Every structure is written in C-alpha cells, then in structure tokens.
A and B are shown apart, each in its own frame.
Chain A
Amino acid sequence: DVKVTQSSRYLVKRTGEKVFLECVQDMDHENMFWYRQDPGLGLRLIYFSYDVKMKEKGDIPEGYSVSREKKERFSLILESASTNQTSMYLCASSFPLAGGANEQFFGPGTRLTVL
C-alpha cells in the first residue's frame, strides 16, 4: 500500500515562528503536493514538486516555501507564521493511472494552530 506520512497530526506555534511541515512517501512518486484545507473552501494548492529540487507555485504560495532535496520527502516551510495560516495542511503524492489519469494519495493531515 502507498503510504504518505506527515510529521505531526497537531501543531501549535506562535506568530513569527518558523514552522516546518514534513511529508514522506514510500512509493517513489515523482509528483508531490502541499494543500491547505479550510471549511467551505475545499483544498487549495500551495506548492507542488514534479522532481527533486523542482517546485512550482500553486494557487496560494504567499507566505510559504518548499524544499525537495530527496524524492521521498517534500517539506513545507512557513518562514514567519501568522494567525491566518491556521489551517489543516495536507500533503499528497501522485501516481499515473491507466489512460493518463492521476491518482493523488493523501497523508492524514497536520492541523496547525498559530497563536
């Protein structure tokens, strides 16, 4: 089974702190994604990476950066956490399905609260 793990389920940080969210997948997937999930807004893509050291901005990259030094690990960094970054953060990796579709496998999420 594909497994996507995230370093923490719950995290509480203070405004201005630097925050690292780690994601690891064990299926050699090339594509990895970071989303944030907020009630009524669904999932919004922050950044994605299609290879080691490669990254692309998603829909809401402001206030975030990412790092992909190894294929299995994709890190989301909040350089200076703010209260409006309180959210559920979901990591995913993707695998091609038959016919050209993609299946994204999701981690369990990290609920981040910034005080």
Chain B
Amino acid sequence: GEDVEQSLFLSVREGDSSVINCTYTDSSSTYLYWYKQEPGAGLQLLTYIFSNMDMKQDQRLTVLLNKKDKHLSLRIADTQTGDSAIYFCAEILDAGNMLTFGGGTRLMVKP
C-alpha cells in the first residue's frame, strides 16, 4: 500500500542547512516531489526527482533519493527566514496522475 511519512516539525537558525526527510513504502514510485506551502497559500512545486536518480541539485536545494531504503531528503543550504513554510513530499506511482502526499514538515527558521 501507499504510505508517505515525514516528521512534523524542524527548527533551524538562519544561515544553517535544513534537511527534511521523507520515507515511502511503495517501491513502484516513479517520481518523487517536494512541495512548499507558505502561510495562507496553496502548494508550490519546488523540485522533483525521477526514481532512477540518486541526487538532484537546484541552486540551494539538494534532493537525495535512497531507493533501497525508500528514503527521500530535501536539503536547503543557507536557510533563510523566507524558507519558513510547510514542506510536503509526494510520490507518483507507475505512470499515474495521482499524488500521494506525506503529512508535511513545518520548517521554522529563527533569525
């Protein structure tokens, strides 16, 4: 069955790196996504990774995928107060259109 899990909360200081973790159970995931939700707003796609990749880097964001352990992480370098938001990981299975979301990790960045 499908299950995507994340820790609920992460607090970091401005300028530090943040690492948000996600685990999933279905090995037929084809794409894995990271979405950001700022207060009062909808979800915005940050980045995604195909399941045959180990890593994807995009400016301050680094996505690491360990397919053997079914573990996905999002690293934000030089975290800023504007990065404070809820971060959701999500997966899509085999050529489907339906995303399965984790519960979201609330990132708080302290000045």
Which A residues contact B (CB, under 8 angstroms)? 4, 31, 33, 35, 40-45, 48, 50, 58, 90, 92, 94, 97, 99-109
Q: Is the interface of B mostly helix, strand, loop or mixed?
A: strand
Q: How many residues does chain B have at the interface if contact means C-beta atoms less than 8 Å apart?
A: 25
| B30 contacts A50, C-beta separation under 8 Å | no
Ranked nearest first, the 3 interchain pairs of A and B with the lowest CB-CB distance are A106-B42, A42-B103, A43-B101
- Say yes or no: A101-B98 contact (C-beta < 8 A), given A41-B103, A108-B41: no
CA distance A4 to B42 in the complex (A): 10
CA distance A92 to B97 in the complex (A): 12
Checking A42, A105, A109 against B88 with a beta-carbon cut-off of 8 angstroms, the contacting residue is A42
| B95 contacts A100, C-beta separation under 8 Å | yes
A to B CB contacts below 8 Å, 28 in the list? A40-B103, A40-B104, A42-B4, A42-B6, A42-B101, A42-B102, A42-B104, A43-B43, A43-B99, A45-B99, A48-B97, A58-B98, A90-B42, A94-B97, A97-B48, A100-B95, A101-B50, A101-B92, A102-B97, A102-B99, A103-B45, A104-B43, A104-B45, A105-B45, A106-B42, A107-B42, A108-B42, A109-B41
